[in-house]
Amino acid sequence: MSASVPTIGQTVDESACAEAERRLQEYVDRCLTREQVVAIEAHLAACPRCSNCYAFEQEVRAHVRAACAEPCPEALKLRLRKLCTDCE
Ligand SMILES: [Zn+2]
């Protein structure tokens, strides 16, 4: 099945989606030029699929950041230290 069925209402250019997906990481990392940011933001506003992708990407980042910010609990450190000495 290679025939592309045009969707009713807005049509989203699939090559624009591929481009947006490729740039999404850089966009989240704020590594894009002003023009690229404008282009991807326009696409995200028009394309629910990519904007979902972006929301997910941001959520993942938030979790990673939270996990990194959390200090290692003292109890866990003690257990790890004990584990190390047990193995020696
Ligand atoms: Zn898209």
How far are the Cα atoms of 1, 10, 50, 60, 85 from residue 19, in angstroms, in the given order?
A: 23, 18, 10, 21, 51
Distance 49 CA to ligand 1 centre (A): 6
Distance 19 CA to ligand 1 centre (A): 8
Distance 40 CA to ligand 1 centre (A): 9
Segment 32-42, tens digit of pLDDT? 999 999 999 99
Segment 41-72, tens digit of pLDDT? 999 999 999 999 999 999 998 988 888 887 77
Distance 39 CA to ligand 1 centre (A): 11
> With contact defined as beta carbons under 8 Å apart, do 60 and 73 qualify?
no
Report the predicted TM-score, pTM, of the whole model to 2 decimal places.
Answer: 0.60
Distance 20 CA to ligand 1 centre (A): 6
